[in-house]
Structure 1
Amino acid sequence: MNAVRKALVVVAVLGAGAGVGSTLFALVTPGELQKQAMLQEFPERDPRRREEAARTKELVMATLKKAAATEENVAWRKNWTEAVSDGSRSA
């Protein structure tokens, strides 16, 4: 009889915990309007941020192309924001 009572208490405590957790999750989860508002605020939605990311990608690709074409150690470039020219030495 004591084992049945302990089992019932364990089931009741676990059920109460699951109920409280589910309630908190339902209260914290944003609604559809809040989700749409958050999606609009992502940095990727900003045109300036997209242009900056595209420029950075261009610089990285140019550096990789130069590294593949030369024996120079381009990993030690001091100013990564400069455009890569084919004939100049970095560092």
Structure 2
Amino acid sequence: MGTLRKALIVGALLGAGAGVGSALFVLVTPGEEKKQAMLKEIPEQDPRRRDEATRTKELVLATLQEAATTQENVAWRKNWMVGGGGRSA
């Protein structure tokens, strides 16, 4: 009988903990309007930020293409925007 009583108490405590945790989760989770507002504020939604990211990707791709066509070690360049002038391999 003591084992059954302990099991019921443990079950009740675990259930109460799960209930409190669920209630807190519901209280903390943002609503639909808040989610939409947060999505509008992310940096990827800003056209200037997207253009900057596109330009950065283009520069990286151009550097990789140049590195593939030359024997120079482009990793040693001081300024990657300018061709040549670095230490060669």
Q: Does 1:89 align with 2:78?
A: no
Q: What TM-score, normalized to structure 1?
A: 0.88
The 3-state SS of whatever aligns with 1:20 is helix
Letter matched to residue 89 of structure 1: G
After superposition, the C-alpha distances for 1:25-84 in whole angstroms (9 at most, x for unaligned) are 00001100000000000100111111110110011000000010011001122223x2x5
Q: Which runs of 5+ in 2 are unaligned?
A: none
Give the whole-Å Cα distance in 2 for the aligned partners of 1:51 and 1:67: 24
After superposition, the C-alpha distances for 1:13-32 in whole angstroms (9 at most, x for unaligned) are 10000000000000001100
Q: What TM-score, normalized to structure 2?
A: 0.90
The 3-state SS of whatever aligns with 1:71 is coil
Q: Does 1:67 align with 2:73?
A: no
Please tell me the root mean square deviation across aligned C-alpha atoms, in Å: 1.1
Relative contact order: is structure 1 or structure 2 higher (C-alpha 8 Å, sep ≥ 6)?
Answer: 1
User: What number of residue pairs does the alignment pair up?
Assistant: 86
- Identity across aligned pairs (percent)? 71
